[in-house]
Chain A
Amino acid sequence: MFSRTGQRLSSVVLGLLSAPAAFADWELNMPKGVTEVSQSIYDLHMLIFWICVWIGVVVFGVMFYSIFAHRKSKGAKASQFHESLGLELLWTAVPTAILIAMAIPATSTLIEMYDTTDAQVDIKITGHQWKWQYDYLGEDVGFFSNMTTSQDEIYDRAPKGENYLLEVDKHVVVPTGQKIRFLITANDVIHAWWVPEIAVKKDAIPGYINESWALIPEGQEGLYRGQCAELCGVDHGFMPIVLEAVTAEQYEVWLVDQRAAAEAEAAAALGDYSHEELMTKGEEVYARSCAACHGAEGGGMGSVFPALAGSPIATGDMAAHIDIVLNGTPGTAMQAFAVQLSEVDLAAVITYERNAWGNDTGDTVTPKMILDAKQ
Chain B
Amino acid sequence: MTTTTAHHDDHGHHGPAKGIMRWVLTTNHKDIGTMYLWFAFTMLFIGGTMALIIRTELFQPGMQLIEPEFFNQMTTMHGLIMVFGAIMPAFVGLANWMVPLMVGAPDMALPRMNNWSFWILPFAFGMLLMTLFTEAGAPNFGWTFYAPLSTTYAPSSVTFFIFGVHMMGISSIMGAINIIATILNLRAPGMTLMKMPLFVWTWLITAYLLIAVMPVLAGVVTMMLMDIHFGTSFFDAAGGGDPVLFQHVFWFFGHPEVYIMILPAFGIVSQIIPTFARKPLFGYASMVYATSSIAFLSFIVWAHHMFTVGLPLQTELFFMYATMLIAIPTGVKVFNWVSTMFRGSMTFETPMLFSLAFVVLFTIGGFSGLMLAIAPADFQYHDTYFVVAHFHYVLVPGALFGIIAGVYYWLPKWTGNYYNEKLGKFHFWMSFIGVNVTFFPMHFIGLAGMPRRIPDYALQFADFNAIATVGAFIFGLSQLVFLFLLIKTIRGGEKATDQVWEGAEGLEWTVPSPAPYHTFAEPPHVK
Contact = CB atoms under 8 A, between A and B. Distances in A.
Q: Classify A-B as touching or not with yes or no (CB < 8 A).
A: yes
Interface string A192-207: 1010100111110111
B346 A67 contact: yes
A63 B376 contact: no
B332 A44 contact: no
A75 to B, nearest CB: 8
A110 B69 contact: no
B466 A103 contact: no
Nearest to B364: A56
A48 interface: yes
Interface string B104-119: 0000000000000000
B257 to A, nearest CB: 19
A228 B371 contact: no
Interface in A161-212: 162-166, 188-190, 192, 194, 196, 199-203, 205-208, 210
Interface in B444-491: 444-445, 447-449, 451-464, 466
Contact of B449 (A31, A87, A99, A162): A31
Given A76-B346, A79-B344, A205-B244, A106 B375 contact: yes
B68 A189 contact: no
Nearest to A33: B380
B64 interface: yes
Given A12-B56, A301-B69, A91 B332 contact: yes
Interface in A207-265: 207-208, 210, 225-238
Interface string B155-186: 00000000000000000000000000000000
A302 B140 CA distance: 14
Contacts of A208: 237, 242-244, 310
Interface in A297-347: 301-304, 333
Given A48-B374, A83-B284, A206-B243, A302 B345 contact: no
B308 interface: yes
B459 A229 contact: no
A66 interface: yes
B441 to A, nearest CB: 10
Given A165-B456, A301-B69, A95 B331 contact: yes
A23 B462 contact: yes
A31 B380 CA distance: 10
A156 B332 contact: no
Nearest to B285: A83
Contacts of B66: 1-2
A160 interface: yes
Contact of B149 (A95, A111, A231): A231
Interface string B307-350: 01110010011001100110110011011001111111111100
Contacts of A200: 379
B49 interface: no
B462 A27 contact: no
Interface in A135-155: 153-155
Nearest to B282: A82
Given A79-B344, A236-B454, A301-B67, A45 B377 contact: yes
Nearest to A332: B153
A225 B237 CA distance: 31
B301 to A, nearest CB: 14
Nearest to B132: A1
B153 A188 contact: yes
Nearest to A84: B283
Contact of B341 (A29, A63, A72): A63
Contact of A82 (B65, B280, B370, B451): B280
A182 B505 CA distance: 62
A189 B149 contact: yes
* Residue in A24, A113, A114, A199 with the greatest tally of chain B CB atoms within 10 Å: A24
Contact of B462 (A20, A56, A84): A20
Nearest to B449: A196
B135 A303 contact: yes
A182 B449 CA distance: 20
B117 to A, nearest CB: 32
Interface string B135-152: 111001110001011001
A234 B72 CA distance: 7
B512 to A, nearest CB: 26
A24 B281 contact: no
B352 to A, nearest CB: 10
Nearest to A197: B449
Contacts of A23: 459-460, 462
A229 B378 CA distance: 13
Contacts of A20: 60-61, 459, 462
Contact of B360 (A63, A66, A153, A162): A63
Q: Of A62, A87, A106, A225, which is in contact with the most chain B CB atoms at under 10 Å from its CB?
A: A106
A76 to B, nearest CB: 5
A344 B223 CA distance: 45
Contact of A52 (B244, B367, B447): B367
A165 B316 CA distance: 32
A107 interface: yes
Contacts of A21: 463
B62 interface: yes
A62 B310 contact: no
B210 to A, nearest CB: 27
A59 B359 CA distance: 10
A303 B317 CA distance: 45
B331 A190 contact: no
Contacts of A232: 149
B392 interface: no
Interface in B47-64: 56, 59-64
B206 interface: no
Contacts of B194: none
A243 to B, nearest CB: 13
Contacts of A59: 334-335, 338, 363
A23 B339 CA distance: 48
B501 interface: no
A192 to B, nearest CB: 6
B278 interface: yes
Contact of B377 (A44, A67, A82, A154): A44
15 contacts: A11-B62, A41-B380, A59-B363, A62-B342, A72-B278, A80-B280, A83-B284, A95-B327, A103-B324, A106-B374, A110-B317, A196-B380, A232-B149, A234-B68, A302-B137
Nearest 5 pairs of A and B residues by beta carbon: A207-B237, A237-B454, A27-B448, A23-B459, A52-B367
Interface of B: 56, 59-70, 72, 135-137, 140-142, 146, 148-149, 152-153, 237-238, 242-244, 277-286, 308-310, 313, 316-317, 320-321, 324-325, 327-328, 331-332, 334-335, 338-348, 356, 359-360, 363-364, 367, 370-371, 374-377, 379-380, 382-384, 444-445, 447-449, 451-464, 466
Given A19-B463, A155-B63, 17 more contacts: A28-B447, A48-B377, A62-B342, A67-B348, A70-B341, A78-B345, A99-B327, A107-B317, A107-B320, A163-B458, A189-B149, A194-B451, A199-B380, A227-B449, A229-B451, A233-B149, A237-B457
